[in-house]
Amino acid sequence: MASHLPPSPPTPTTIARLGDDLLREIFLRLPALPSLVRAAFACRDFRRAVRSSPSFRRSFHALHAPPLLALFLEPNFEVAPAFPCPWRRRDPDLVAADFFDIRRSHHGESNSAGWKIRSQLPCWDGYFVLHKASVRRAEGSAAYNPLTQALDLYLCDTDLQFYTLSSEDGQAPSRVVCVIHERGRSRAAVFSSDTMEWQITPKNNTPPLLDGPRNGRVMRGIIWWPNCSVEQIVVLDAATLQFSLIDLPPFTVECDYPTYTRIGETKDGKLCFVDIKDGTLVSHFLTADGDSVVERWMLYKEFPLHPIVMNATGCSMEGEYCGVKVKVVAVIHGFIYLSIFYCKDTLSRQLYLSLCLETSEVSELFNDAYCYNVDAQPYVMAWPPSLLQSKEESETEPNGDSVGDDGHVGTEKASSVLVAALQSLDQALMDEGDSNRETVEELDAFVRPNEDDDGSLLSKIRSFDARLIAVRDRILKIRA
């Protein structure tokens, strides 16, 4: 009788033996982007699976909104982590955490020359306002936003606005767009990290920018400037360097920008305009009109503010002296961020909420005693640059195996593009003609140090970016 050998036990399948497609299916079910980043940096195979698939990034972005890491409270940019955790004053890593240690650095500043943070207005709309006093050169001012890496330079007769546009898919080069306002007219120029050169539009090829609106919003490679006083939005396409105008949505003619109005995007990337009208939060989005290519504003959703405020604070908005003030802070990826100032039990308090346009869900970000914070800037986590694989890149893995390493690489890369653009713009303007000589000389005095300065503008920008990295890494470690 023939003997029968027992069957061999099946070889166990470990997670290390899964293919990239199965790994990505698992990763899609992670709750948020920070979880994906930590999983991707667990080993090289996991990181390769995430980096090598643009379709995976699009799918993950569609399922998971980019998380709000923190709110930076102006004017001192105190850090308020935006997630359920003990309040920042009870957190040992965030006790009295000023984003850039402005109170300490300002009080310790001497009267020596160089770029200083203005004591009257240290921070405004996300921008740190800087002032330069020099013995041999004229005074000047600048404003830098480390969250968006936007920069404004105020010269004598010319204002220069710089907007950093990083590629979302890792395929296209990063760019810096400069908008030049001079004598009532505006021009545009673009600097590419691929060619390392400026392309400047002719002086007679662009319309006036309607009194030069400030603080443009970069979305989908386009820069938008809401200008309620003239009932239009100024638009600059960064690819073609062409300006255009679009009308504001209906019923926004009497809006009080920027207190009650913000421009942003819906979850699927449509331009969204949000304002407060008669106690109601009203949202419009820009969409194509039927089969026509012409876009028009369409009313999206309306949210009565009274029940939202009542549920969140227990206070009523009704009555002329109700003591409640609601402000639209930002509109990002389909979420409206609101600040509410109110008084309860004789104490002044501040509350920040998020409202999802798609689901109408309201979430409390934090609520505390009022601390003279006049505004807040949301910091939404972007897709980490080292989880992007460019066309030219082979299967060679990036350096660094941690979230902290990744963040440093990404921010320094974007900062270096802006710094390189600043260093080369004066030469591009000089090559254009002698009419720009005065602007070039002043720009050179702004950007580069001399023996009277204790620091150049470029060193200030690098310092701000380094501190942003440190705060961001601290928040991610707390969330882990």
If you write DSSP's letter for every residue of 168-190 in order, what string do you get? SSSSSPPEEEEEEEETTEEEEEE
pLDDT at position 41, please?
A: 86
pLDDT at position 411, please?
A: 46
Residue pLDDT, tens place only, 262-298: 888 888 888 899 988 888 999 998 887 666 566 788 8
pLDDT at position 197, please?
A: 86
pLDDT at position 133, please?
A: 64
**SS3 category, 345:** coil
Question: Where are the domains positioned within the chain?
Answer: 15-61, 65-390+399-479
Phi, psi (rounded to 5 degrees) for 28: -60, -25
Write down the pTM of the prediction.
0.82
Residue pLDDT, tens place only, 158-187: 788 899 887 665 556 788 999 887 766 778
The torsion angle over the Cα atoms of residues 93, 99, 104 and 108, rounded to 10 degrees, is 140
Distances (CA, A) of 229 to 57, 97, 226, 255, 260: 40, 38, 9, 9, 14
Which range (181-185, 302-306, 356-360) has the least confidence?
181-185
Grade residue 251 by pLDDT with cuts at 50, 70 and 90: low
Mean pLDDT of 177-203: 81
Most confident of 111-120, 221-230, 356-365: 356-365
* Share of residues in the chain with pLDDT > 70 (%): 70
Which range (48-57, 205-214, 308-317, 431-440) has the least confidence?
205-214
- Spatial distance between the Cα atoms of 36 and 26, rounded to a whole number of angstroms: 10
**SS3 category, 265:** strand
